[in-house]
Structure 1
Amino acid sequence: MTSRVLYLFGSAAPPVHDIAAVVRTAQNRGFTVCLGLTPTATDWLDPQRTELERLTGYPVRSRYKRPGTADVWPKADVIAFAPATFNSINAWALGITQNFVVGVVAEGIGKGIPMVTMPCVNAAYAAHPQLDRSIETLRGAGIRVLYGEGGFVPNAPGQGRPPAYPWHLLLDAAEQAASTP
């Protein structure tokens, strides 16, 4: 059986520190994993970069490749973006591609790549009216957004519980998206 390719993308929210365990779990579920991070998440995980690259077998990317150079990753069967911050969700929905990860998922809509995302925002960000509009925009574009009941439920500011972040829901949804013709 050929391995399905999962682009696992993360932005700078505390659960991103658990990304190595998520990569292993995804691999145990039969995925080849390519890891992409926003610039701040890249800074946070820089001490783990060598281990993450060894674990995935691919470079951890946070920048676009140079024009005319071959891509170092295989083609994605599915993209899972989590944790996705308030900034990343809104930028994606508005088409503001200020970084590699948001650029790939924004383009992924037009390419028809199956995608799932799970925000990680506190209740203060969740109260901002743009978040609901952005989630509605992404869902309208065919993105499965795991937010609210059956996904991520915001905590009060400063009351996050990174170990309780429901990574299993993201991987379940990615498996389902990758197996849907």
Structure 2
Amino acid sequence: MPGLLHLVTCAATPLRRIGELLDQLVAARWEVQVIATPAAATWPFLTGVRATTGRPVLHRMPLPDEPWPVTAAAAVLVAPATFNTINKVAAGVNDNLAVGVLNEHLGGPVPVVMAAHVKPELRAHPAFARSRRFLTEAGVVFTDLGHPLDWTQTVAALDPHR
């Protein structure tokens, strides 16, 4: 069994088809814990996650009297990974549960894959190239979500890490 996969989701168009990604991950025998950015947590496309994964969507830091909701993972996948989240993680910003989980894994032994969904105008921004280069040097594996959307390359990027 591959183990537990932290699937960090960001608010971008591919989130509409997150069910397809979850189906592929479950078929690949991953146990999946979805951790949504605050913006992604407001999107209705995550409503079926618990039925597929058996786990609730995590989206906020626990209150002081609540247990830490995130358990150890075998791998981390960010899909879709937005301009905002990629740059936040590269800069070490730790302002929500999703980026906090990513920051905790950056440079460590747990593999991290980011499936970038960034429009051309933002790909041209100097911060994006700098962030992507920095994260790649820290061990992050990048895939790009194209059009038409196909999760196959993203799921395949997890294979070497099993």
TM-score by length of 2: 0.91
Identify if the C-alpha distance between structure 1 residues 122 and 115 changes in structure 2 by more than 3 Å, giving closer, same or farther.
same
Give the structure 2 partner of residue 54 of structure 1.
51
Unpaired segments ≥5 residues, structure 2: none
Aligned positions of 1:1-181 closer than 5 A: 2-45=1-44, 48-49=46-47, 51-67=48-64, 69-146=66-143, 151-152=144-145, 161=147, 164-177=148-161, 179=162
Sequence identity (%): 29
- Between structures 1 and 2, the one with greater helix share: 1
Q: How large is the RMSD of aligned CA atoms in angstroms? A: 1.8
Q: Which runs of 4+ in 1 moved over 6 A?
A: none
Alpha carbons 1:11, 1:38 under 8 Å: kept: yes
CA contact (8 A) 1:58 1:72 kept: no
Helix, strand or coil for the counterpart of 2:33? strand
Q: How many angstroms apart in 2 are the aligned matches of 1:73 and 1:103?
A: 11
Alpha-carbon distance in structure 2 between the residues aligned to 1:80 and 1:100: 14
Contact 2:10 2:39 in 1 (8 A): yes
Secondary structure at the counterpart of residue 39 of structure 1? coil
Three-state SS of the structure 1 residue aligned to 2:63 is coil
Unaligned runs of 5+ in 1: 154-160
Residue 68 of structure 1: CA displacement? 5.8
How far 1:69 sits from its partner (Å)? 3.9
Larger Rg: 1
Q: Which stretch shows the higher mean deviation, 9-18 or 106-115?
A: 106-115
Answer yes or no: is the 8 Å Cα contact 2:6–2:77 preserved in 1: yes
1:53 touches 1:60 (CA, 8 Å); kept in 2?
A: yes
Residue 110 of structure 1, CA deviation: 4.8
